[in-house]
Amino acid sequence: MIESVDKSVIEFLPYQRRFFQDTARVQVALWCRQAGKDFTTAAKAVDKAILKGQKWFIVATTQSQADSTLEKCNNVAKAYKEAFKIGGRITIDSNDEYIDYDAAIDEAFRCKAHTLNLPGGGSVTSMPGRNPDSLAGRTGNVIFTEFGLFPKGGYDHWRVVFPLCTRGYQVIVISTPRGKNTKFYELFAKPELYAVHFVDIYKAVADGHVLTDNNGRPTTIEKFRELYGDEAGWAREYECKFTGDLETLLKWAQICAAGEMGRKLPFDFLRVENDAGWKENFFAPLAAEEGRCEIGWDVARSGDLSALWINQAIVNRPRALRALVLMHNTTFAMQRKIVSAAMDCNRRNVGTGDATGLGMDSNETLATKYPKRWQSFTFSATGKREIGSLLKTAYDDADQAIPPADGEHKAVGTDLYAVQKEGDAQTLKLTEGENPLWPESHCDVAYSCGLARKAAQIVAPRPYISV
């Protein structure tokens, strides 16, 4: 370790310093959200790479996750170079391209390994890879980031990637908990064999970690917990509890079957970025079609996707996704305009919107505008359980058609597949997994489908026989 780096270059909290100074062969970090595990790990990698000329590999399931950690490494390296007057250049190479493959969804991804070259010959390389075989054949220290989210519990990745460190290198595994049926839990549960660093929200705050409210002011754990408003999520994300084993809510075979039902059906797709891309006549074809539209709107303003799922409901047929509008960083005024256009194309159309948090005002406006046709929905624990039940029933009963799972709009299916569950019907809890084809979605499209299924329960103002 570069002498006194944790005092002069980076201000570590005590729990971060303990982890930074650990030299064990295998280190396991189970920390709560935003406690700095990714940044501290980046500092460890850069420190050793500069001091000993070592190679480090960041292994993540997505390009964005791997590159995010590498960017932290780059920032630390610049701080080192300036603080210690280290000669030599810091460069990033991006020449190593390869094809990654996810067998679970039968999808290939073009990935790029970025290498941060450091003075003294050391390096840090970001290696996205859902297929562990695409990462084999290298030698050096390994960082598994968010290991609890790895496909098949991370067992295949551990089996293939661990040998990279055979010649005396380190393996660092960091994650938040995602069920006990994972390699991450297996490592965490053996502190007698591995160096385990456990930091829940209580330990982090006791060591100086400062929580803030939505105005950026310091707040207490109790107030922050109330602000978060998700008890199931709190236990996992902040108390770091392995609360149960997760599995997908819908099986990939069910999604493929739903795609086969929708293979020859009409489907319109539109993405609105900021306020650009909206087409005024987008919903015109729906006005002349049979049946009614049942609309689900999962609301977001920035970061996540705001998704408008429009099912076509025709008597004696499965409901079918007729149109999907994704809105990213789009103003609420424009979003309401688009939702209103969907409602106005047929006076029988009905809709349900996410009125949780940011969506409350817009849904109140829509409920006033369409008093018998629009309903608000809140994603409380009970509400989320209801949406999960509606989704599961729809696909269990083969009553939902979507675009083909091997076609241009395959990402619709992968978003549904990303919804994870634990518990039975009475205790069902949903968790948002990742959609590798739409990384900015946190199951937003899947939840908009659930809201459209909720809208199906609305009795139309004009005579209408639902399926």
DSSP string, 138-164: --SEEEEESGGGSGGGGHHHHHHHGGG
Cα four-point dihedral sign 42, 48, 53, 55:
negative
**Which 3 state secondary structure label does DSSP give 320?**
strand
Q: Which strand (E) or helix (H) includes residue 296?
A: strand 292-298
**Percentage above 70 pLDDT, the chain:** 96
Which pairing describes strands 123-128 and 55-60: parallel, antiparallel, or unpaired?
Answer: parallel
Position 462 scores a pLDDT of 52
Residue found by looking up tokens 């006033």 in the block: 368
Q: What are the structural domains of the chain?
A: 5-237 (3.40.50.300), 247-455 (3.30.420.240)
- Of the candidates 312, 376, 320, 316, the residue with the CA atom closest to the CA atom of residue 345: 312
Position 134 scores a pLDDT of 78
Grade residue 460 by pLDDT with cuts at 50, 70 and 90. Answer: low
Q: Give dist(CA 433, CA 452) in Å, integer.
A: 21
pLDDT in tens, 440-453: 899 999 999 999 99
What pairs with residue 183 in β-bridges?
none
Give the up-direction half-sphere exposure of residue 131: CA atoms within 13 A in the CB hemisphere: 16
- The phi and psi torsions of 8 (rounded to 5 degrees) equal -100, -25
195 close to 27: Cβ distance less than 8 angstroms: yes
**Percentage above 90 pLDDT, the chain:** 70
Position 335 scores a pLDDT of 97
- Of the candidates 338, 377, 385, the residue with the CA atom closest to the CA atom of residue 355: 377
Position 6 scores a pLDDT of 45
DSSP type of residue 276? B
Q: Give dist(CA 390, CA 352) in Å, integer.
A: 13
300 close to 354: Cβ distance less than 8 angstroms: no
**Which 3 state secondary structure label does DSSP give 76?**
helix
Residue 121 pLDDT greater than 70, yes or no: yes
Cα dist from 317 to 290, 313, 390, whole Å: 11, 7, 17
To the nearest 5 percent, what fractions of the chain are helix, strand and coil?
35, 25, 40
In sequence order, the 6+-apart residues with CB closer than 8 A to the CB of 302 are: 329
Grade residue 103 by pLDDT with cuts at 50, 70 and 90. Answer: confident
Per-residue exposure over 6-16, b if at least 16 CB sit within 10 Å of its own CB, e if not: beebbebbebb
pLDDT in tens, 184-230: 999 999 999 999 999 999 999 999 999 998 888 999 999 999 988 88
3-state SS of 381-404?
HHHHHHHHHHHHHHHHCCCEECCC
Q: Give dist(CA 387, CA 450) in Å, integer.
A: 5
Cα dist from 271 to 334, 388, 439, 440, whole Å: 13, 25, 15, 13
Residue found by looking up tokens 């209801």 in the block: 386
Residue found by looking up tokens 């399926």 in the block: 467
Residue 271: count of CB within 10 angstroms of its CB: 15
Q: Give dist(CA 95, CA 98) in Å, integer.
A: 10
Residue 98: count of CB within 10 angstroms of its CB: 15
- Of the candidates 145, 170, 126, the residue with the CA atom closest to the CA atom of residue 21: 170
pLDDT in tens, 308-353: 999 999 999 999 999 999 999 999 999 999 999 999 999 999 999 9
Position 357 scores a pLDDT of 87
Residue 223: count of CB within 10 angstroms of its CB: 12
437 close to 411: Cβ distance less than 8 angstroms: yes
In sequence order, the 6+-apart residues with CB closer than 8 A to the CB of 244 are: 179, 180, 422, 423, 429
Residue 360 pLDDT greater than 80, yes or no: yes
Tokens of 239: 């108390």
Average pLDDT along the chain: 91
Runs of H (alpha helix) within 10-161: 14-21, 37-52, 63-83, 155-161
Q: CA 277, 278, 280 angle in degrees (round to 5)?
A: 140
State the DSSP string of 186-203.
HHHT-TTTSEEEEE-HHH
